[in-house]
Amino acid sequence: MTQPGPRLPEEFRALRAVKDESGARSEFQTLTLADLPAGDALVRVTHSSLNYKDGLAVAGRPGVLKSYPMTPGIDLAGTVVEDRSGTYAPGTPVLLTGWGIGERQDGGYAEYARVRPEWLVPLPEGTDARWAMSVGTAGFTAMLAVMALEEHGVTPGSGEVLVTGAAGGVGSTAVALLAAAGFAVTASTGRQEEEAYLRSLGASSVIGREELPALKRPLEKERWAGVVDSVGADTLAGALASTRTHGAVAACGLAGGNALDTTVFPFILRGVNLLGIDSVNCPAERRRAAWARLARDLPADRLADVTQVRPLSDVPALAGEILAGRVRGRTVIEVG
Ligand code: NDP
């Protein structure tokens, strides 16, 4: 006897980025499954998250979305409805970050998504969709950055580590992960009012953005054993010049700008390593390893203070907030 197939919806809700003569903007639309892109796996999306990139896409800023109309949302979590590849049974809880969703094809700000099964990661044991999205791309990126520092020999015994843009999504999770791994973490923030929050995540010291030495000389006093940088530009240049001999700097972001005006001296005189972090095309095996460690080191209760939960209808307003640097930590979006 054949099993009855899953009940599929007639229509569902999505936040869509559209573009016409008046420019790019976002609006809520009702879609059908026929509107979704090709792909073997259909996922019922229950949660997504808000990242800086999502802010840009929803606010109609150029650079993130490769075509229109498009459903933004670079993260999603939910359950598999059907998978024609046979990899996942219906009902399997899964998460998906990156791989171009919410950029090149429809993403997480819709109640259903059709994707490639090989992009999916089964939710780690003991976690749920809300936890996965409180981690999201930002937390996953922070995990990749910490793993990269460790692989380049940075250990808690190496000395102080710096996290820049510390009150943001990548920064907050990096502080929590590094503290959980036993590092002495210095958190750099432009928001001194977030000091108590950053200390609650495990930072042993909190400094103002302006306290990071601007790059005056190619080599500054050696201070950091390792750096997780989500700011870029002068902040990254200054961090490189202040990193200790054989230390490493994980470059994750560009919240302060994409230029990098520096010299080769930190690399050739101190053996400093500049490590590029890319969460979008990270290979499947490394993804699973990172998610397993996130589940171990950042259980839901540790993330509670870092996370706000908001409905999909709030995303247009939240986009402006994250672009203005006013969002603290992570934002989970309840999709349906
Ligand atoms: P958030 O907006 O949550 O955090 C960014 C933080 O950077 C802010 O909270 C603020 O921290 C700081 N900041 C903002 N503007 C400036 C500025 N002009 N000068 C100095 N510091 C500033 O974003 P996310 O954490 O989600 O992302 C951080 C960066 O990482 C972004 O550039 C994003 O595009 C990138 N990213 C890259 C990924 C990858 O795969 N490599 C994946 C995910 C994100 P504070 O208030 O503490 O100063």
Q: Which atom of ligand 1 is nearest to the CA of 169?
A: 25
Q: What percent of the chain has pLDDT over 70?
A: 97
Ligand 1, atom 9: nearest CA belongs to which residue? 168
End-to-end CA distance of the chain: 32
Q: In this structure, are 89 and 176 located in the same domain?
A: no
Ligand 1, atom 35: nearest CA belongs to which residue? 253
288 Cα to the center of ligand 1, angstroms: 24
Predicted confidence band at 301 (pLDDT cuts at 50, 70, 90)? Answer: confident
Alpha carbons within 13 A on the beta-carbon side of 239? 31
Whether residue 215 lies inside any domain: the answer is yes
268 Cα to the center of ligand 1, angstroms: 28
Confidence (pLDDT) at 66: 95
Q: In this structure, are 141 and 211 located in the same domain?
A: yes
Does 2 have pLDDT greater than 60?
Answer: no
Q: In this structure, are 72 and 99 located in the same domain?
A: yes
pTM, 2 dp: 0.94
- Ligand 1 pocket mutation, candidates 49, 170, 177, criterion most atoms within 8 A of CB: 170
Confidence (pLDDT) at 299: 82
254 Cα to the center of ligand 1, angstroms: 6
Q: Are 181 and 302 in contact (CB under 8 A)?
A: no
Confidence (pLDDT) at 4: 60
Q: In this structure, are 190 and 214 located in the same domain?
A: yes
Whether residue 130 lies inside any domain: the answer is no
Q: In this structure, are 84 and 182 located in the same domain?
A: no
208 Cα to the center of ligand 1, angstroms: 15
Ligand 1, atom 20: nearest CA belongs to which residue? 256
Confidence (pLDDT) at 8: 86
Question: Percentage helix, strand, coil, to 5, in the chain?
Answer: 35, 30, 40
Mean pLDDT of the chain: 95
CATH number for position 182: 3.40.50.720
Query: In this structure, what are the phi and psi dihedrals at residue 75, rounded to the nearest 5 degrees?
Result: -130, 150
Which DSSP state fits 214?
P
Q: Hey, what long-range contacts does 150-158 have (CB within 8 A, 24 or more apart)? A: 150/181, 152/248, 152/273, 152/275, 153/246, 153/248, 154/225, 154/226, 154/247, 154/248, 156/181, 156/182, 156/183, 156/184, 158/225, 158/226, 158/244, 158/247
Q: In this structure, are 251 and 315 located in the same domain?
A: no
Tell me which residue range forms the domain holding 256.
Answer: 135-276
Using DSSP bridges, classify how beta strands 243-251 and 23-31 pair: parallel, antiparallel or unpaired. unpaired
Whether residue 4 lies inside any domain: the answer is no
Question: Which residues, judged by CB distance below 6 Å to any ligand atom, belong to the binding site of ligand 1?
Answer: 51-53, 137-138, 141, 165-171, 189-191, 209, 230-231, 235, 252-256, 277-280, 322, 325, 327
Query: In this structure, what are the phi and psi dihedrals at residue 81, rounded to the nearest 5 degrees?
Result: -90, -45
Whether residue 191 lies inside any domain: the answer is yes
Burial 96-118 (b: 16+ CB within 10 A, else e): bbbbebbbebbbbbbbbbbbbbe
Q: Which atom of ligand 1 is nearest to the CA of 190?
A: 48
42 Cα to the center of ligand 1, angstroms: 31
252 Cα to the center of ligand 1, angstroms: 9
Which residues lie closer than 8 Å to 1 by C-beta, 6 or more apart?
A: none
Predicted confidence band at 275 (pLDDT cuts at 50, 70, 90)? Answer: very high
- Residue-wise pLDDT for 244-263, tens only, equals 999 999 999 999 999 999 99
Find residue 18's DSSP bridge partners: 25
CATH number for position 80: 3.90.180.10
Q: Number of structural domains, the chain?
A: 2
Predicted confidence band at 336 (pLDDT cuts at 50, 70, 90)? Answer: confident
4 Cα to the center of ligand 1, angstroms: 46
Whether residue 114 lies inside any domain: the answer is yes
Q: Rounded distance, CA 307 to CA 305, Å? A: 6
108 Cα to the center of ligand 1, angstroms: 20
Confidence (pLDDT) at 5: 62
Does 300 have pLDDT greater than 90?
Answer: no
